[in-house]
Amino acid sequence: MQIKDILQLSPESQSVIVKGWVRTKRGQANIVFINLNDGSTIKNIQAVVEDGKIDEETLKKISTGACIAVSGTLVASAGSGQAVEVLAQSIEIYGTADETFPMQPKKHSLEFLREKAHLRFRTNTFGAIFRIRHALAFAVHKYYNDNGFFYLHTPIITASDAEGAGEMFRVSSFEPNAAPKNEDGSVDFSQDFFGRETSLTVSGQLEGELGAMALSKIYTFGPTFRAENSNTTRHLAEFWMIEPEVAFYDLEDNMNLAESFVKYVIQYALDNCKDDLEFLQNRLLEEEKSKPQNERSELTLLEKLKFVVENDFERLTYTEAIDILLKSKPAQKKQFQYEVGWGIDLQSEHERYLVEKHFKKPVILTNYPKDIKAFYMKQDEVSDATPGATVRAMDVLFPGIGEIIGGSQREDNYEKLMTRINEVGIDPENLWWYLDTRKFGSAPHSGFGLGFERLVLFVTGMGNIRDVIPFPRTPKNAEF
C-alpha cells in the first residue's frame, strides 16, 4: 500500500507495512522517530521505534536516504501534523545510504539540485513538481477526450521544417567515419536517413493537419526538439508540445478553445494537487521574504491560478498592442531593451509588460504581421487599418512567462499558400503531401501549440524551465 493511502486509514491498531525512503531519523534516549516518504504524496509517515523493539545494528544502518520497509501497527499519532503513525515491530533494510547522500534534510539551492538532477526527485520540491506535471498531462488527455478530439501520434523523425526557423537537429544513420562527404570534405547531410535528409521534429502541426482534414478534431502531445543555443529560463532543446488541430474552426473558435483548455487543466491541478500546490506556495512565500516589499508578488500561487481560471483573457490585435507599447514609455521606468515598432517580433519583455503591467491578466494577441510568422498562417484581407499585411495568428501570453501558446487559422487556399511558400523560399516539392490537403477537399481549420513545460512553469510558480522537466536537455545537459 502507498503512503498516501495508509495516511487515510483509521488507526484501529491494524497491521501495515510501509515502504519508502528515509527523510529524517531523530533519536532520543529510548525512542527513535523515522520519517518515510514514498513519493505518492508530499506527506511523510512517521515510524516510531520504541526502546528494544529493533536491534541496535539495524537501527544504526538507517539514515537519511536509506530505503526501508517498516512492519508494525498503525496507531493514532500524538504529534500534530498527522493523524496516524506506525509503531515499528520489524524493519527490513533494502538499501543503506551514507552521509555523502546529497539530499540531506536542509534547504538546498535550485542550482545545487540541478547539478544533482539524478537525485533531486527525492526532495519535496521536485516530488511536488513532478506530481503536478503528471496531473496536468493527465488533464490534457482528459480535456481532449471529453471534447471529442482524437490523440494522433505524429512522427519524431521528419523531413519537414514546419517552422522554417532552421532550428532542427539532424538525424544520422551513419557511423561517423562512414558518413558521405561533400567535395570540400564536410559531411553530406542530405543522405543521412538511409539516403534522405531528416531531422527531429520541431512541431507535429503539419502532420496534425492531415489528421484534422479527416478526423476533424485531433491533438498531438509529444516531444519536440529545437536546436536553440539560447540559455534562457524559457527554452529547452527538448520539450513537450500539445497541438490541437481542428477542421471548421476559425481564429475566434481557436481562441475560445485555447482559453477553455488552459483554464480546464489549471482547474484540474487546483482540484487534484492541493497539498503539492500549497507546499510550493509556501516555498515561494519563504523565498519572497528575502525580496524588497515592492518586488514581492501581490497574489499567492493559488490566488494567481484561481484568478486565471475565473477571469476572461484580454484579447487584442498585434497592432493595438504595438500602440500600447509605444505609449507605455512614461509608465515604463526603464526603456525596453528592444525597440518597439510595427513589424517587430515581440520580445518577452514586451509580452510581459502587456500582461503584467498593462492588463494584469493573460492576453491573447492576434493578427500579427505576415512577415514575422510562418508560411502556413491564413492571410487577412488587406486593409488600411494596419501598416502592412497581417495573418490570422494568435499568441497566448501569461504573467511571469510571456508566450505559452502560438497558433493560427491555417491558409486553406491552395494558390495563396503556394504563393507564400515560394515567397519564403521553401521548395514546394518537399511539401507535396501537405499541399494535397488543399487540393482535395480543403477546409477552413485552425490549431495551436502549447509548450507543456511553460504551462507547468506557470502552475508550479517555478522560475526556470529546467526545473519542471525530469531530464532537461539544454546546451549543458545531456548526460542522463
In total, the chain counts a number of residues equal to: 480
> By CB under 6 A, is residue 351 in contact with ligand ATP?
no
CA distance 253 to 255: 5
**Which CB sits closer to Mg ion, 47 or 405?**
405
Binding mask 404-443 for Mg ion (x = CB under 5 A): --x-------------------------------------
Contact partner, 61, from Mg ion, ligand ATP, none, Cβ < 5-8 Å per class? none
Contact partner, 257, from Mg ion, ligand ATP, none, Cβ < 5-8 Å per class? none
Contact partner, 236, from ligand ATP, Mg ion, none, Cβ < 5-8 Å per class? ligand ATP
CA distance 219 to 190: 31
> By CB under 6 A, is residue 393 in contact with ligand ATP?
no
Q: In the chain, what is the greatest distance between 2 CA atoms, to the nearest angstrom?
A: 88
Residues numbered 387-406 forming contacts with Mg ion, rule: CB under 5 A:
403, 406
- Interface residue with ligand ATP, options 108, 403, 414, 464 (CB under 6 A): 403
**Minimum distance from CB of 406 to Mg ion (Å)?**
3
Q: What is the 3-state secondary structure (H, E, C) of 190-227?
A: HHCECCECCEECCCCHHHHHHHHHHHCEEEEEEEEECC
313 within 8 A of 361, measured Cβ to Cβ: yes
CA-based end-to-end distance of the chain: 30
Give the binding range for ligand ATP (CB under 6 A) out of 2-10, 320-328, 401-409, 439-447.
Answer: 401-409
Q: Which three cell numbers stand for residue 267?
A: 482547474
> By CB under 5 A, is residue 369 in contact with Mg ion?
no
CA distance 435 to 418: 8
Q: Given the C-alpha cell 513589424, which residue does it identify?
A: 343
Contact partner, 404, from ligand ATP, Mg ion, none, Cβ < 5-8 Å per class? ligand ATP
- Interface residue with ligand ATP, options 72, 369, 451, 472 (CB under 6 A): 451
Binding mask 159-198 for ligand ATP (x = CB under 6 A): ----x-----------------------------------
Residue number of the CB closest to Mg ion reads 406
Provide the 10 A C-beta neighbour count for residue 452.
24
- Interface residue with ligand ATP, options 20, 72, 127, 449 (CB under 6 A): 449
**Which CB sits closer to Mg ion, 73 or 347?**
347
**Minimum distance from CB of 397 to ligand ATP (Å)?**
9
- Interface residue with ligand ATP, options 53, 235, 360, 361 (CB under 6 A): 235
Burial class (CB in 10 A: 0-12, 13-18, 19+), 6: buried
**Which CB sits closer to ligand ATP, 163 or 259?**
163
Contacts of 274 (CB under 8 A, 6+ apart): none
Amino acid at 29: A
Angstrom CA distances, 436 to 241, 457, 459, stand at 25, 38, 40
Residues numbered 147-166 forming contacts with ligand ATP, rule: CB under 6 A:
163
Q: Phi and psi dihedrals of 184, rounded to 5?
A: -80, 10
For residues 223-232, one letter each, b for 16 or more C-beta atoms within 10 angstroms of the residue's C-beta and e for the rest, the string is ebbbebeeee
> By CB under 6 A, is residue 373 in contact with ligand ATP?
no
Q: Which three cell numbers stand for residue 391?
A: 495573418
Contacts of 71 (CB under 8 A, 6+ apart): 15, 16, 17, 88, 89, 90, 91, 92
**Which CB sits closer to ligand ATP, 228 or 252?**
228
> By CB under 6 A, is residue 406 in contact with ligand ATP?
yes
232 within 8 A of 422, measured Cβ to Cβ: no
Instruction: Of 409, 405, 403, 416, give the one whose Cα is nearest residue 444.
Output: 409
> By CB under 6 A, is residue 208 in contact with ligand ATP?
no
- Interface residue with ligand ATP, options 36, 62, 139, 241 (CB under 6 A): 241
Give the binding range for ligand ATP (CB under 6 A) out of 84-92, 235-243, 416-424, 425-433.
Answer: 235-243
CA dihedral angle for residue 326, residue 328, residue 334, residue 339, rounded to 10 degrees: -10
Tell me the DSSP string of 68-100: EEEEEEEEE-SSSS-SEEEEEEEEEEEE---TT
The size of the interface with ligand ATP (CB under 6 A), counted in residues, is 16
Give the binding range for ligand ATP (CB under 6 A) out of 19-27, 318-326, 432-440, 445-453.
Answer: 445-453
DSSP SS3 for 301: helix
**Which CB sits closer to ligand ATP, 403 or 436?**
403
Binding site for ligand ATP (CB under 6 A): 163, 226, 228, 234-236, 239, 241, 403-406, 449, 451, 453-454
Q: Which residues bind Mg ion (CB under 5 A)?
A: 403, 406
